[in-house]
């Protein structure tokens, strides 16, 4: 079997999504997804650069092809390159499992659990709105809920001290209304410096968050040393990391409790498996990042089903809620849990005839936040 074509697609629905279709000379194709949101044109360009390297190659050689794609241009791939590699790598694993006639998780060690617990995004512009949405999610069967550190109510302004106060009020309201049964996660979205992150975590201790996600910017990995010394809450990080090497310090120094690897950025299934194995040696649980589409959800599910050190899975979009014509078959879901697919490969079906129904969003870009004085801050 040889790779004959590699085709990238950017499509729009509630946001832009980026997919790569890999075809072979035996008529078996695989679909992958890249996760570098709002940078789809750059990812497409990198896919086109990689295509001559892998055309004519055996798709079963996933480790060899990963090394070739990552290192084949002499300069190791960065974030854009790793998102492109991720999409291709996922597609290659899809091809392998289809060729062997088994669900993908069978190639990753087989099932170690029967279902994958997920958490949704709970939204609201006030504590009462968050409580209402969380109560509805709990009634639908979810056992976890995640919400953001909220910006100013009047616009795209983010001031740390005020946001910390709001977050503590949100936790107090949620615990008072819902109790201890629903696990709560707060996503700081890399918006705080160490001093503010320490303040937030200390004030949240009485409310027992399942974890505090991305409390700090990721550029300086050493900053987690200071944070970990001063707080006594589970910490999660990693959604922006683009290889196992970027996880190295936080794993080796036990600075995080949950690894938020993004399978569509970190290097696909091949690289995520290495991160998961490394994390297992440090009792770090996997909590894969997934704000993406049906292929990312399927890829996360197969890995979650087959690794022992699983914590919880982010599920921003329930299967079937987006791109339903483009992906008429998506992975099964029931009451807050993703369930094992039974069909070969990823368990999703790609229908390229429906592409015209999902044109890319031409003005799609990341939201912009600023401080009250007009200076830029992370969204």
List Cα–Cα distances, 262 to 61, 239, 247, 313, in angstroms.
22, 5, 12, 11
Q: Where are the alpha helices (DSSP H) in the chain?
A: 40-54, 62-71, 79-100, 127-139, 160-178, 194-204, 223-230, 244-252, 268-280, 294-306
Rg, the chain, Cα only: 20
Residue 64 falls in the annotated catalytic set: no
Residue 189 falls in the annotated catalytic set: yes
Pairing of strands 29-34, 16-24: antiparallel
- Cβ-based neighbours of 288, under 8 Å, separated by 6 or more: 260, 261, 262, 263, 272, 300, 303, 304, 313, 314
- What tokens does 157 get? 């302004």
Query: Considering 64, 189, 230, 232, which one is annotated as catalytic?
Result: 189
DSSP state of 329: B
Q: Could you identify the residue written with the tokens 């401080």?
A: 371
Burial 163-190 (b: 16+ CB within 10 A, else e): bbebbbebbebbbeebeeebbbbbbbbb
145 close to 170: Cβ distance less than 8 angstroms: no
Q: How many CB atoms lie within 10 A of CB 287?
A: 28
Q: What is the largest CA-CA distance in the chain?
A: 60
Q: Could you identify the residue written with the tokens 């949405």?
A: 133
Report how far apart the first and last C-alpha atoms of the chain are (Å, whole number).
44
Query: Considering 121, 230, 289, 302, which one is annotated as catalytic?
Result: 289
DSSP state of 133: H
220 close to 194: Cβ distance less than 8 angstroms: no
Nearest of 72, 59, 61, 78 to residue 21 by alpha carbon: 59
List Cα–Cα distances, 194 to 160, 199, 230, 371, in angstroms.
11, 9, 10, 17
Residues annotated as catalytic are 189, 289
């Amino acid at each position: 079997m040889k790779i004959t074509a590699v085709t990238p697609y950017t499509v729009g629905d509630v946001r832009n999504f980026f997919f790569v279709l890999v075809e072979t000379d035996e008529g078996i194709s695989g679909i992958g997804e890249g996760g570098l949101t709002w940078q789809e044109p750059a990812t497409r360009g990198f896919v086109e650069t990689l295509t001559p390297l892998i055309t004519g190659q055996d798709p079963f050689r996933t480790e060899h092809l990963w090394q070739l794609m990552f290192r084949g241009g002499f300069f190791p791939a960065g974030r854009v390159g790793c998102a492109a590699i991720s999409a291709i790598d996922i597609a290659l694993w899809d091809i392998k499992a289809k060729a062997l006639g088994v669900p993908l998780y069978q190639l990753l060690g087989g099932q170690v659990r029967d279902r994958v617990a997920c958490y949704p995004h709970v939204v609201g512009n006030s504590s009462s709105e968050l409580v209402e949405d969380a109560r509805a999610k709990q009634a639908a069967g979810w056992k976890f809920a995640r919400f953001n550190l909220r910006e100013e109510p009047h616009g795209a302004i983010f001031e740390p001290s005020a946001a910390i106060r709001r977050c503590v009020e949100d936790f107090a309201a949620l615990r008072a209304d819902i109790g201890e049964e629903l696990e709560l996660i707060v996503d700081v979205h890399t918006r705080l410096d160490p001093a503010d992150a320490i303040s937030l975590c200390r004030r949240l201790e009485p409310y027992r968050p399942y974890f505090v996600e991305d409390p700090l910017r990721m550029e300086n990995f050493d900053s987690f040393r200071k944070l970990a010394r001063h707080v006594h809450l589970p910490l999660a990080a990693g959604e922006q990391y683009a290889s196992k090497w970027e996880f190295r310090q936080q794993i080796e120094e036990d600075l995080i409790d949950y690894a938020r690897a993004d399978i569509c950025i970190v290097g696909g299934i091949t690289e995520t498996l290495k991160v998961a194995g490394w994390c297992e040696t440090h009792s770090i649980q996997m909590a894969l990042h997934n704000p993406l589409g049906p292929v990312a959800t399927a890829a996360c599910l197969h890995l979650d089903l087959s690794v022992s050190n699983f914590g919880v899975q982010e599920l921003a979009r329930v299967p079937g809620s987006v791109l339903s014509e483009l992906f008429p078959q998506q992975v099964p879901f029931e009451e807050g849990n993703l369930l094992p697919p039974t069909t070969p490969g990823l368990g999703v079906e790609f229908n390229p005839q429906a592409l015209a129904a999902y044109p890319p969003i031409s003005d799609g870009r990341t939201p912009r936040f600023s401080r009250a004085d007009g200076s830029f801050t992370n969204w």
